[in-house]
Amino acid sequence: MSVYTPGQVAEETGFSLDTLRYYERIGLLESIDRNAAGQRRFTQKDVGWLGMIRCLRDTGMPIAEMLRFAEMTRAGDHTVRERIALLEAHDQRVQEQVDNLRERQVAIRNKIAYYHSVVD
């Protein structure tokens, strides 16, 4: 099994070392194994989980919801329906954000077209 240092995980995930420690402290990240010297060592599973957390965070999911998702995931397969519901609700919010951004993009492109017509 591959193991990674906190620095390698920070580089891979884009999370700062402080954020990794914070996520572990609040329970978003399960307790990380340590080597004999007490240094944290992350597994590929940890890195994969952080990839999911990155996705959820980057799409605006609140930490409280991410914690709920983490708790359900750790609880086992009997929570799959609840996880689906949580992710579907989040997906709907993300879709609304995307739709809003597309509307704003149309306005920006219209303004660009207008300015092109003025200078041409």
Q: Residue 9 — pLDDT band, cuts 50, 70, 90?
A: very high
DSSP 8-class letter at 34:
E
> Distance between CA atoms of 88 and 37, rounded to whole angstroms?
43
Q: Residue 67 — pLDDT band, cuts 50, 70, 90?
A: very high
Could you give the domains of the chain? 3-119 (1.10.1660.10)
What are the tens digits of pLDDT across the range 85-111?
A: 999 999 999 999 999 999 999 999 999
Count CA atoms within 13 Å of residue 58 on its CB side: 9
Q: Average pLDDT over the chain, rounded to whole?
A: 96
User: What is the pLDDT, as a whole number, of residue 120?
Assistant: 76
Q: What's the CA angle centered on 22, arms 12 and 48, to 5 degrees?
A: 35
- Answer yes or no: is pLDDT of 77 > 80: yes
This prediction's pTM: 0.86
